[in-house]
Structure 1
Amino acid sequence: MVLLVITAAAVAYGVAAGLLLPRAAYRLSVEPDAAWHDRCPEGHPIPGWLGPSHCRGGGALSARHRYGAGPAWTAGVAGVVCGVLGGAVGGRPEAAVFVAVAPVLLLLGIVDLAVQRLPDVLTLPLAAGLALGLGGAALVPGAGGSWTGALIGGGALAGAYLLLFLLNPAGLGFGDVKLALALGVPLGWYGWGVWALGAFLGFLYGALYGLALVLRGSGGRRTAFPFGPFMTAGALTAVLLGGFGA
């Protein structure tokens, strides 16, 4: 019964947070060194950062004034991801941290898919928030991981990605290095087995996507594509398995 309540609450939170993402995703989807979008494609000012992706041109809602990702899609994905995380981790205190940051990871994925960019305004606070949140969770009885392991895991994954970036800057963005810092924290929380699995799955998912592009004739071996969503998917898969295992 308790697990059902936790899962339902996580789904409700994910849906509510997902409904707020489209406007932020559109505003953040700009090229490097460009200012955030402050107007919709129709030229109307965008009020605030959170909310659905439509504006009130002429004082009334109109389908032609919609832009960016659809709120139903973002709410659905966020609800599913948060619900699965809540159900997997259960009543352990780290569940609140993982569920809370899941919509931010979805937002990063949407932006990366749109402009192949992971904004510092999201990646760096995400890393700090995960570290602080899991530090608090470690103080609560019943925690299923290690805060020291989480901190080491974040540094280790960021270091590995930094090395790859230095070896091949054209194949990996520096934003991926900063995202690795954040993703390595929850992976390290559950130990080196989960950490290694999450790192491996990120590359595996990305490689499978690249292979699919080649087979479909949509790209070649050197075709660039956003890697952040695959890093995130790999990390989430490993954290789910770690949550079940713990």
Structure 2
Amino acid sequence: MTDLLPVVAAALWGAVAGALLLPRAAYRLSVPAQEPWRDQCPGGHPVRGWIGPARCGQCDEASYGPNALLLAAATALVCAALAAATGTRPELAVWLLLSPVGVLLAAVDFRVRRLPDPVTLPLAAAALGLLGLAALLPEHAGDWFTALYGALALGAGYFVLFLINPAGMGFGDVKLALGTGAALGWYGWPTVMLGTFAGFLLGALYGGALVALGRAGRKTAIPFGPFLIAGAFVGVLIGAYTA
């Protein structure tokens, strides 16, 4: 029963964060590139702040934006899985703080194919800063310097891909790779390679499924951020479990 408490607590945290903290930010950030962030609800009433539910007391249809239940379920599942793999090691707190941000970015990128700079760049800084604090605590199972090198290596690798094929790899993916590289690097270079491979594999499977269903062509661009995040989740999950 004791071993289940961190998992249950993590799931509850994920559900609360997904339902109450993410919907408004996801709605405001889900605009095409070059457009300003939303500052009004669909009914034209002002939307203030970034954190909180997407609800408007002045509209006939109070709720708007992405489905809060889906955000809550996704965040709860991610947090619970990471808690089960990590146990009570200090880095678990880092994963639980970063996971809602990853879900937010995946939701926005799926909706409008955009990874907002105000989220991706702070994510990278937060990942390195929080992991630096975790490295000072006993019983941690990672290495901060490898996290730093992982961030630089993955960011550089994605930057090269962006230069080679900017139509297929957005610069937002490059910035996101800094944060995911830090998380993967915490558990070592095998985890970096595993998470990177998983991201490309998941993206390829998704693109292949769209082509098979006739919903996309072979040259149709797909949002890669969600698969970059999913690959990092797979890598960190396995890295934490085997650490």
Range into which the TM-score falls when normalised by the shorter chain: over 0.9
The amino acid of 1:16's aligned partner reads V
**In structure 2, what is the equivalent of residue 210 of structure 1?**
207
The answer (yes or no) to whether the contact 1:3–1:91 under 8 Å persists in 2 is no
1:112 aligns to what? 109
Secondary structure at the aligned position of 2:168 is classed as coil
Distance in 2, matches of 1:3 and 1:231, equals: 30
CA shift for structure 1 position 3: 2.8
SS at match of 1:210: helix
Aligned pairs for 1:1-246 within 5 A: 1-19=1-19, 20-57=21-58, 62=60, 64-246=61-243
CA drift of 1:185 comes to 0.5
CA distance in 2, matches of 1:186, 1:52: 28
1:227 Cα deviation from its structure 2 partner: 0.4
TM-score, length-normalised on structure 1?
0.95
Aligned length: 242
Question: Matches of 1:47 and 1:166 in 2, distance apart?
Answer: 38
- Cα RMSD of the aligned pairs, angstroms, is 1.1
Q: Distance in 1 between matches of 2:209 and 2:64?
A: 29
CA contact (8 A) 1:158 1:180 kept: yes
Greater CA drift, 76-85 or 117-126: 76-85
Shift of 1:83: 1.0
Q: TM-score, normalised by structure 2?
A: 0.96
Distance 1:234 1:72 in 2: 23
Which one is further off, 26-35 or 202-211?
26-35
State the shift of 1:241 in Å.
Answer: 0.6
2-side partners of 1:73 and 1:55: how far apart? Answer: 19
Tell me how far 1:9 sits from its aligned partner. 1.6
Tell me if structure 2 keeps the 8 A contact 1:42–1:65.
Answer: no
Q: Which runs of 4+ in 1 moved over 4 A?
A: none
Alpha-carbon separation, structure 2, partners of 1:212 and 1:169: 23
